[in-house]
Amino acid sequence: MTSRGGNGYQINDIAVVSPTRLLVTDWTNDTLRLVDSQNGGVVSQVSVPGTPFRVCLTGDGRAAVTLRDEKRVQFVRVDGDTLSLDKSITVKGTVVGIVSSNNHLVVSYHSPGRVEKITMEGRVTHELNNQTAGRELFKNPYFITTSHGGHIYIPDGGTHTIVQLDHNLQVLQVFTSSMMKGPRGIVSVSNNQVVVADLYSHNILVLDTTTGTLTALLGDAEGIQYPYAVDWCPDSQKLYVGLHGVIGNLNVYTRT
C-alpha cells in the first residue's frame, strides 16, 4: 500500500462518507469536519456542544458523535457538503465508542467498561458488562466496528484483546495476541477480516476472524507512528489512518 497526504490538524476519529468525503472529529476545537479526501481541505464544519470523541454514520443522512465528558450522543445532519446539528440524547456514563447496527446504536463506556445497544432515542435494549460476562472483558473499549455479517468487534486497549459479539451483544470470541500492544481504531474490511490500529506497536494489523491470526499490514516503513483511528473505503480501496497526537495526522494508503 502507498501513502499520500496529511491535513494539518489533529484527528480523533474518521468516518468515510463517500470516496471523496470524510467526516473527522477534531477534539482540540470541539468540531466535526467534512474533509475532501483528495486534498485534505475542509468542505464544511460544525461546532458540537462538547469534545467529540467517536463518530459513525447512521444510514439516515446523519452521523452520531459521542461527547464523552457530557455523557451524550450528538446527531449531526450530513446534507451533501453541509453539516448541521440535529438532536442529542443523554446516556448513562462516560460514552466513548459508537457504531450503527440494525437501526440501533452500539455504544461503549469506560470507568467502568461496558457496552450497550440502544435505540436512536437512547433506550437501552441490550447490555454487556464485566459482571454479566463473568470476566473482565472491558477496561478501555474506545472503538467499535461492525461487519457485513452483523458481528460487532470491540478492541480493548486495557486488556489488549478484540471482543467479537453478535447483534444481541452475546460474546462469540475473544481474540488475543502478543502482537497487540494497545489496539485502538478498528474497521471491518470483509466478513472475516478487520483492520486494527495498534497504538504502541506502531502497526496496522489485520485480524483473520476465522483463524484468529494477526498479521502486520503497515508499520514504521510506511510512516506509521502511534496509529489511533482507521477507516476503509471499499469503493476507492483506500485505508485512512489517523496518528495520535500528531498535527497533519491523516495518512492515506491505497491497496496495490
Q: What is the pLDDT of residues 48-106, one digit of tens each?
A: 999 999 999 999 999 999 999 999 999 999 999 999 999 999 999 999 999 999 999 99
Looking at 4-13, 32-41, 219-228, which range is the least confident one?
A: 4-13
With a cut of 90, say whether residue 38 has pLDDT above it. no
**Cβ atoms of residues 187 and 194 within 8 Å:** yes
Provide φ and ψ at 65, rounded to 5°.
Answer: -125, 130
Supply the mean pLDDT for the chain.
92
pLDDT at position 231 is: 97
Range 221-228 average pLDDT: 91
With a cut of 50, say whether residue 4 has pLDDT above it. no
With a cut of 60, say whether residue 35 has pLDDT above it. yes
**Cβ atoms of residues 142 and 126 within 8 Å:** no
With a cut of 90, say whether residue 248 has pLDDT above it. no
Which three cell numbers mark 138? 472491558
pLDDT at position 256 is: 64
Q: What is the pLDDT of residues 177-217, one digit of tens each?
A: 999 999 999 999 998 999 999 999 999 999 999 999 999 99
**DSSP designation for 135:** S
pLDDT at position 144 is: 98
Percentage of the chain surpassing pLDDT 70?
95
pLDDT at position 185 is: 97
pTM for the model: 0.94
Provide φ and ψ at 192, rounded to 5°.
Answer: -130, 20
pLDDT at position 2 is: 43
Helix or strand (DSSP H, E) at 131? helix 130-133
